[in-house]
Structure 1
Amino acid sequence: MNRPSPAPTVERADDRHRYEILVGARLAGLTAYRDHAEQRVFYHTEVDDAFAGQGLAAHLVQEALTDVRRSGMRVVPVCPYVAKYLKKHEEFADITDPVTPEILHWLRTELGTLT
């Protein structure tokens, strides 16, 4: 008899600068960010292949954006998945800031990826 999968839960892991989605005790995916003043800059989202096709990325990003709204911050969607999600979910438009060259330069510096 198959037991149903546990409901996914989303947790903010500030020490790792990311939101994590867990299925049971397993890390199924994450969306990574860095904070820049009052902006939370999302730059990468991934879901483990073992959990693909279950809508976990959308659930993860929705919970992350809801948390950003609760915290009074704004969203900058550098991550292509987060940007795509925001285009389909206009309820977050009021807390979304554009990706600018200045933000991209700051993020590269923050992540240590400047060449």
Structure 2
Amino acid sequence: MTQGLTDNPGASVTVELDLASPISSYTIVRADETPVGTADFVVIPGASEERIFFHTEVCQDFGGRDLIALLVSKALTDSIRENVTVVPLCPVFARHLRVHGDEFVANGGVFRQPIPDDIGVITRAALGEA
């Protein structure tokens, strides 16, 4: 799934979703197909699917273009549409939801605070044990 957007200076970028196991990601890609940032997460299936967002990064050369904001916005918009609970282990997602959490919930989003077990889930996924 992709979505065409523009960054702060007006350059064309695309946000692509790669649902993989054990680690999935949203990737922001320039028009020349160069990936310049990712928001990584692990999917926890269940009655209410959860996505633990644990790492978000944009190449330093592209700082100041609001690319992280585009990644976070796309991930949170998708979570509302797909009825997914967001777990903001990543500081970028945690900060965004600390400031905009009420708005996110008012728009139909659901999130919960991380718990120690979430770190174990991420560790197992990173080691390929998930």
Query: What is the TM-score with the length of structure 2 in the denominator?
Result: 0.76
Aligned match of 1:7:
12
Name structure 1 gaps, 5 residues minimum.
none
Q: CA deviation at 1:97?
A: 1.0
Larger helix fraction of residues? 1
Number of equivalenced pairs? 111
Aligned match of 1:105:
120
Alignment partners' CA distance in 2, 1:113 and 1:17? 13
Alignment partners' CA distance in 1, 2:63 and 2:30? 12
1:13-51 deviation digits (Å, cap 9, x = unpaired): 113610011121221100000001210010000001111
**SS across alignment from 2:77:** helix
Runs of 4+ in 1 over 3 A off after TM superposition: none
Q: Report the identity percentage.
A: 33
Name structure 2 gaps, 5 residues minimum.
1-8
Aligned match of 2:27:
20
Alignment partners' CA distance in 1, 2:104 and 2:128? 29
Maintained 8 Å contact 1:41/1:77: yes
1:92 maps to 2:104: yes
Q: CA deviation at 1:5?
A: 5.1
Which range moved further: 80-89 or 5-14?
Answer: 5-14
Query: What is the TM-score with the length of structure 1 in the denominator?
Result: 0.85
**SS across alignment from 2:11:** coil
